[in-house]
Structure 1
Amino acid sequence: MAASSSAASFSASSKVARIGLISDTHNLVRPEALRHLIGCDAIIHAGDICEPAVLDALRDIAPVTAVRGNNDFGPWADGLPTHATLTVHDITILVVHDIADVGARREPVRVVVTGHSHQPRIDERDGVLFVNPGSAGPRRFKLPISAGLLLIDGAQVHATLHTLIA
């Protein structure tokens, strides 16, 4: 599969940018997820959206950067990239659905946002912050329903995970 790419630049009006992280909604827009995202300057959706209405609901809150997941099919999904790059202040963020698709990316990134596993996780390796917000959609196994948040202030970034439904 050829990897398409999308790049965007973002300038927050406030000093600290709040970037909402969501993934694996699988066509379920939970009110808890929408409440979590209110007040964000931008939203990143790391794939498995399943229907364009999900992105429409998120765009009502803030600008959205989204990538195609392995369950995103049809003409609406053909326009979604498999990789996206977003720059917020001094932080470059790479978004892919499956962490296995990160590969040997050439551009330097400070944050990688992924989905796919439904397992919320924050991990830092070799100066790169890896964040999987988990799944905000249907429950899988006994995993929590969750989302995340990036707080970016210049060259500083802090990630948090939030359980929406235990």
Structure 2
Amino acid sequence: MLVVVSDTHAREESKLQGRTAEAIREAELVIHAGDFYREPVLDAFQSAAASLRAVYGNNDDASIRDRVPEVRTVEYAGVRFAVTHRHRSGDTGLVMLGRGRDADAVICGHSHRPRFDDSGGLPILNPGSHAQPRGNRPAHAELTPTEGESGSEPALDGELVTPDGESFETFRIDGESGAQ
């Protein structure tokens, strides 16, 4: 399972609770889309996750920026993601970033609003914030490998989940062919 989180905004700890904490411990791979805030939080995620791929956000301090990139490409179960915290050109810029990295989808953070949007030519996943939702529902994303439509291409079934364990949106990302 792949777990995606973002926007922790903490000084000392990961603020992982409930299902979010369980999912991080169970995941083969965790992606954090930026705004840890302080370096001990990045360290806490590295300790909790079997494997962590992260980018820095606009509120991350210099020590985090020295350790993780602003943008990265991550592949999981044959699906390729462009990962960034935010893009100044909004969704259009995110789609262009993803296309430039030959990605099947884009993962971002920044807004603290969990959403999956596949209306713009390339799917965009924002897991929201598990720790500081700012008026939105606290959330993370869980993605599980599955077979694509033809049975031969890779795909991921995903859901947005609250720390209380409530799944409130489901989606699918297909490798090499977009989302459904």
TM-score (norm 2): 0.73
Deviation at 1:89, TM superposition (A): 2.8
Which protein has greater RCO, CA pairs closer than 8 Å, 6+ apart? 1
1:65 partnered with 2:37: no
Distance 2:53 2:112 in 1: 19
CA distance 1:58–1:75, shift in 2 (3 Å)? closer
Q: Note closer, same or farther for the CA distance 1:71–1:81 as it changes in structure 2 (3 Å cut).
A: same
Residue 38 of structure 1, CA deviation: 2.2
Q: How does 1:6-155 map to 2 (within 5 A)?
A: 18-27=1-10, 28-32=14-18, 33-60=20-47, 61-99=49-87, 100=90, 102=94, 104-105=96-97, 106-125=100-119, 128-140=122-134, 142-153=135-146, 155=154
Cross-structure match for 1:14:
none
Q: Percent identity of the aligned residues?
A: 28
Question: Alpha-carbon deviation of 1:146?
Answer: 0.9
Normalized per residue, the structure richer in strand is: 1
- The Cα offsets for residues 48-97 of structure 1, whole Å up to 9 and x where unpaired, read as 11122222222232211111101002233233211110112321111111
* Distance across 2 between alignment mates of 1:62 and 1:54: 16
Q: Which runs of 5+ in 1 are unaligned?
A: 1-17
With normalisation by structure 1, the TM-score equals: 0.79
User: Is 57-66 or 19-28 further displaced after alignment?
Assistant: 57-66
**Greater per-residue helix proportion:** 2
RMSD: 2.1
Count the aligned residue pairs.
Answer: 148
The answer to which of 142-151 and 27-36 deviates more is: 27-36
